[in-house]
Amino acid sequence: MGICMDKLIRDNFDQSIAQEILKQYEINDSLFQLIQCNNNFVFDIVNNNNSFILRITHEKQKSRELLIAENNWIDFLSQSGLLVSKPIESKNGNLIEPLIHNNQTYYCLLYKKALGKSFKSNEINPEILSKWGGLLGDLHNKSKGYKNDHKHRTEDWHYDFLNPEQYLPSEKSYLIEKIISNRKKISDIIKSNNNYNIIHYDVNLSNFVELNGKLTLFDFDDCHMDYYFADIASSLFYLIDVPNLYCTRNYSISRIDLLGMISNYFIESYKAKNPVNINDYCLLNLFLQRRVINIFVNFYRSHDIDKLRIAHPKVLDVFEDAISNEIEYIPETILSKWN
């Protein structure tokens, strides 16, 4: 899950311009449907039995320079043998098509839709966890050869882009100390080629498909320079239903059994594909905590809080409690065994 766009940008967007953009790719008379408007406007496109994904990004959400860097990494991964969804050139020969709409600048990218079997969170089993962990490990192993010759976001993006001092109300100022502490602890981790490079930050079950036994990864919008722990935390975050520590999402197994499956299949498969020790896995809780911080601040940045409280009356309290008490999401007794 990326950083949500400003509510004003979302409310002033006209979906019908998708049809106009597609003319730049010589795709006419297509059926299109908005399937996501969280951090981008994402459309599912069907044209003559061909399926595409159209992504429209506001310049405040991601600059053209960052999109160029993202495409360069995708191209590097493709050349390294990883199956990834790559953008398609427009009739003008552009991978990124600019768009002016309501005096706002957007950037448009079109992808051939990745075909294959998708996975659902209620299908969690050893086979899926092994494939998932293996995909992430392979991604990190291949990324170690990537040279950062292009401008990417850094790990400070999590704090600077959200700017908690600006978006959190004054009565929540006591949380700033916890956020600063989290940032300091992460910044103190020594960087190396084994634990730090560009990461995807959204390798979850909805962002890869399987065809003929091979996985194709897509949706690189959140990629940035960071510790590999951040990518692992991002993958595990919704799987273990952070920060709710008392149940699991969409499947009827206990949390301890789920963590056991993650240890035996996800982590073991990850380490098989990326065998070099990336550091002390007990640090993973710092990155799970940062994920909670990001989402909590993002609530205040991008949502009407009064409406959010009506729709989800406990969600803010649960996240706030998790931050203020620095909850240990995965017991260190389990994490220490992953080293």
Radius of gyration (C-alpha) of the chain in whole angstroms: 20
With cut-offs at 50, 70 and 90, classify the pLDDT of residue 157.
confident
Tell me what percent of the residues of the chain surpass a pLDDT of 90. 57
Domain membership of residue 2 (yes or no) is: no
Instruction: Compute the average pLDDT of residues 117-130.
Output: 88
User: What is the CATH classification number for the domain harbouring 164?
Assistant: 3.90.1200.10
| Judgement on whether residues 248 and 213 belong to the same structural domain of the protein | yes
Domain membership of residue 243 (yes or no) is: yes
Structural tokens at position 57: 């990004």
| Judgement on whether residues 230 and 322 belong to the same structural domain of the protein | yes
| Judgement on whether residues 157 and 288 belong to the same structural domain of the protein | yes
> Which of residues 68, 85, 112 is at a domain's end?
112
pLDDT digits (tens, 9 = 90+) for 168-188: 988 888 899 999 899 999 999
Q: How far, in Å, are 15, 38, 102, 120 from residue 82 at the CA level?
A: 33, 27, 39, 22
Nearest to 27 by CA among 97, 104, 83, 86: 97
> Which of residues 88, 112, 136 is at a domain's end?
112
User: What is the CATH classification number for the domain harbouring 77?
Assistant: 3.30.200.20
Q: Is pTM, for the whole model, over 0.75?
A: yes
Answer whether residue 2 shows pLDDT above 70.
no
Instruction: Compute the average pLDDT of residues 286-311.
Output: 89
| Judgement on whether residues 107 and 131 belong to the same structural domain of the protein | no
Q: Tell me how many domains the chain contains.
A: 2
| Judgement on whether residues 145 and 233 belong to the same structural domain of the protein | yes
| Judgement on whether residues 133 and 93 belong to the same structural domain of the protein | no
Domain that holds residue 294: 121-338
**Distance of alpha carbon 241 from its chain centroid, rounded?**
15
Answer whether residue 281 shows pLDDT above 70.
yes
| Judgement on whether residues 74 and 160 belong to the same structural domain of the protein | no
| Judgement on whether residues 75 and 97 belong to the same structural domain of the protein | yes
Which tops the pLDDT comparison, 338 or 18? Answer: 338
| Judgement on whether residues 70 and 166 belong to the same structural domain of the protein | no
Answer whether residue 244 shows pLDDT above 70.
no
